[in-house]
Amino acid sequence: MILAGLGALSLSREKAEEISRDLIKRGELAETDEAKFVRDLMDLVEKNKAGLEEKVEKAVEKAMAKLDIPSRKEINALKEEIGKLTGKDKVSGE
């Protein structure tokens, strides 16, 4: 569902221009307003895309926490602690 939302927000400039030409053809947009319409539409898409990406990131973090999956930062901290306890500078991932 989240990925479908991201796909819906991926609007290309060409598609925005196609929409504006269709609106002009139907008399719902003046030709003089086309460039501003396309620019405003692309700005709106980018803002919504950024907001949705942030929500997806938070949802993934929440799911990882719920499943008790450690983050890369936590794993690296544990490696460092193990290295200190065993007297090694660095613990390999092997």
Q: Taking Cα atoms as reference points, which of 10, 18, 50 lies closest to residue 37?
A: 18
Hunting for tokens 């602690």 — which residue is that?
A: 81
pLDDT band per the 50, 70, 90 thresholds, residue 9: low
Check pLDDT > 90 for residue 81.
yes
Which distant-in-sequence residues (6+ apart) come within 8 Å of 1 by Cβ? Answer: none
Amino acid 37: pLDDT: 92
Query: Per the confidence metrics, is the pTM higher than 0.75?
Result: no
Mean pLDDT, the chain, integer: 83
Q: What is the pLDDT of residues 26-70, one digit of tens each?
A: 999 999 999 999 999 888 888 888 788 888 889 888 888 889 888
